[in-house]
Amino acid sequence: MSQVKENNTVKVNYTGKLSDGQIFDSSEGREPLEFTLGQGQLIPGFEKGVLDMKLNEKKTITIPKEEAYGDIHEQLKQEVNKADLPQDMKPEVGMGLVSKTPEGQERNLLVIEVKEDSIVVDGNHPLAGKDLIFDLEVVEIKDADVA
């Protein structure tokens, strides 16, 4: 029976949960997730969890935050003057914003506090600082040498 190896392209059904059982993502009702191991497309703990699984095998893995989205970095939280926001914007806690770096890269930000003259935004990934639990099922394995 085939087993997932480095550089295989695989299709996986998954459900991602937090430690309190809250589901944050799932392939249920959608196509399975397809990716090639070893290309850094996914968080390291997910790839490590799929490695050596057999076709049609199901298992649950726990990914520590260090192998997921890492710790929360306080330097990614910053205060922005409301005067620097688009004039028609009414910022609210929980609102997502997109900011461009001087190099033209886009960063997703989350409004975490609204003050009288400013807002506080957080550039951390929403799952940073959290251990993740995934229910996995390998539904297809393609060998790396088969084009």
Tens-place pLDDT, residues 105-115: 898 999 999 99
Where do the CATH 3.10.50.40 domains begin and end in the chain? 9-69+127-142
123 backbone dihedrals φ, ψ, rounded to 5°: -95, 5
Condensed to tens digits (0 to 9), the pLDDT of residues 14-57 reads 999 999 999 999 999 999 999 999 998 999 999 999 999 999 99
Where do the CATH 2.40.10.330 domains begin and end in the chain? 74-122
- The DSSP code for 32 is P
Could you tell me the pTM of the whole model? 0.82
Which CATH number describes the domain made up of 9-69+127-142?
3.10.50.40
Determine contact, residues 24/16, Cβ cutoff 8 Å.
yes
Determine contact, residues 121/111, Cβ cutoff 8 Å.
yes
- The DSSP code for 66 is G
- The DSSP code for 49 is H
